[in-house]
């Protein structure tokens, strides 16, 4: 009991409750990625709400578009209209991100996008909280050109992520004396990939750059595993499949067919340091979960101590005193992120190379000197 006339600051701290939108497809073709991101966001909301040093708490306002591209903009608008939320953590695909930007512009909202993307965007309505090409694709291709060769086959789901990522890969391959042997796309969710794998079998590339998502990717990896079993030219670790978006979130569903896949990203379980905004916390299942958690924590740090800060535009928010400590570029709204390249071996990601943190450069305007850091051993 406190003495007369004395009081505890924490007892009398005024906590304002701020609505926070969550817009993830936890059903539909890429539900595993959406569920992972949602789990990270909810973990961060619980952490913020339990923190006695913060003068705010978040109240989640959720919508699930179910992977239906036509539902994203209406659901985003519904969040912004039906609540006081001005910030939304969400979207898994670049298609869905681009669908909601006009709604955010009309209604004064901000999207925190916690999944990898293809770059060439810097909206005042978006914080890009996961990796862009100079933080995943370029290091991955540099490594695989040196390790496997420069005869490449490109594939992807038929939307902007696949198109743009493979465009960058074509250009980089041409500049380094490589050769793209083939390029094919399938509709999102389609498992009709037999023709694609037949072409890979005939062309025998050094590696396959895979931009497929969801069931399309799972069917493709199953078919590639069958190809390895029947054709000695693909046996063992020959012609690996590369990915810039495969994480631990999907490994249980893919199973043994994921063996040998090489992926690049800012965080793998046990392999990389925590992401900016995680505060050293690493109890996540994948980089999707970690980046969504970091998004909520960074937002809380920006809003804390400034009443009504949630009503500010993103440039205004990033101009507040102390905002530079959060680590979001005020110019591009991207992060400086660690980079790791890892391969699935015996069902877990094992490091091949790790790099010093790289500043997000969405338009690939800079010449980057990528510094390799010492291997970080996986903890199992």
Return the pLDDT at 371: 47
Closest CA to 253 of 347, 141, 146: 347
Residue whose tokens read 């198109």: 163
Cα→Cα distances 256→31, 250, 252, Å? 20, 12, 9
pLDDT of residue 2: 38
Which pLDDT score, from 0 to 100, does residue 13 have?
57
For the chain, 380 residues long, give each residue's pLDDT as a single digit of tens: 333 333 343 444 568 999 999 999 999 999 999 999 999 999 999 999 999 999 999 999 999 999 999 999 999 999 999 999 999 999 999 999 999 999 999 999 999 999 999 999 999 999 999 999 999 999 999 999 999 999 999 999 999 999 999 999 999 999 999 999 999 999 999 999 999 999 999 999 999 999 999 999 999 999 999 999 999 999 988 999 999 999 999 999 999 999 999 999 999 998 878 999 999 999 999 999 999 999 999 999 999 999 999 999 999 999 999 999 999 999 999 999 999 999 999 999 999 999 999 999 999 998 544 444 443 433 33
Q: Which CATH number fits domain 134-270+338-373: 3.50.50.60, 3.10.20.30, 3.20.20.70, 3.40.50.2300?
A: 3.40.50.2300
Query: CB of 52 within 8 A of CB of 15?
Result: no
- The residue assigned the tokens 């990915």 is 243
Q: For CATH 3.40.50.2300, list the domain ranges present in the chain.
A: 9-131+273-337, 134-270+338-373
C-alpha–C-alpha distance, residues 137 and 131, integer Å: 9
| Reported pTM | 0.93
**CATH class of the domain comprising 9-131+273-337:** alpha beta
């Amino acid at each position: 009991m406190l003495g007369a006339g004395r009081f505890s600051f924490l007892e009398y701290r005024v906590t304002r409750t701020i609505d926070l939108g969550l817009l993830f497809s936890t059903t539909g073709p890429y539900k595993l990625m959406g569920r992972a991101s949602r789990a990270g966001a909810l973990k961060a909301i619980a952490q913020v709400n339990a923190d006695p040093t913060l003068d705010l708490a978040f109240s989640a306002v959720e919508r699930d578009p179910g992977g239906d591209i036509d539902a994203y903009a209406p659901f985003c608008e519904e969040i912004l209209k039906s609540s006081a939320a001005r910030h939304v953590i969400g979207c898994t695909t670049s298609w869905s991100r681009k669908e909601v930007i006009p709604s955010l512009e009309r209604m004064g909202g901000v999207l925190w996008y916690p999944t990898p993307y293809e770059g060439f965007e810097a909206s005042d309505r978006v914080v890009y909280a996961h990796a862009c090409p100079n933080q995943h694709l370029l290091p991955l291709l540099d490594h695989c050109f040196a390790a496997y060769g420069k005869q490449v086959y490109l594939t992807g789901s038929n939307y902007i992520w696949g198109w743009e990522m493979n465009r960058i890969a074509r250009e980089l391959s041409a500049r380094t004396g490589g050769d793209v042997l083939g390029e094919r796309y399938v509709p999102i969710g389609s498992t009709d990939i037999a023709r694609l794998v037949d072409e890979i079998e005939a062309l025998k590339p050094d590696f396959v750059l895979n931009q497929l998502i969801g069931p399309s990717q799972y069917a493709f990896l199953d078919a590639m595993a069958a190809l390895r079993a029947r054709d000695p030219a693909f046996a063992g670790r020959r012609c690996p499949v590369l990915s810039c978006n495969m994480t631990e979130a999907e490994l249980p569903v893919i199973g043994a067919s994921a063996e040998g896949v090489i992926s690049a990203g800012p965080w793998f379980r046990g392999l990389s340091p925590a992401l900016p905004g995680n505060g050293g916390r690493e109890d996540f299942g994948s980089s999707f979960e970690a980046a969504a958690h970091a998004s909520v924590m960074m937002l809380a740090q920006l809003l804390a101590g400034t009443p009504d800060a949630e009503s500010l535009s993103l440039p205004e928010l990033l101009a507040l005193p102390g905002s530079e400590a959060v680590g979001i570029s005020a110019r591009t709204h991207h992060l400086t992120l660690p980079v790791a390249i890892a391969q699935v071996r015996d069902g877990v990601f094992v490091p091949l190379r790790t790099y010093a943190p790289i500043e997000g450069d969405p338009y690939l305007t800079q010449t980057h000197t990528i510094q390799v850091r010492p291997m970080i051993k996986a903890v199992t």
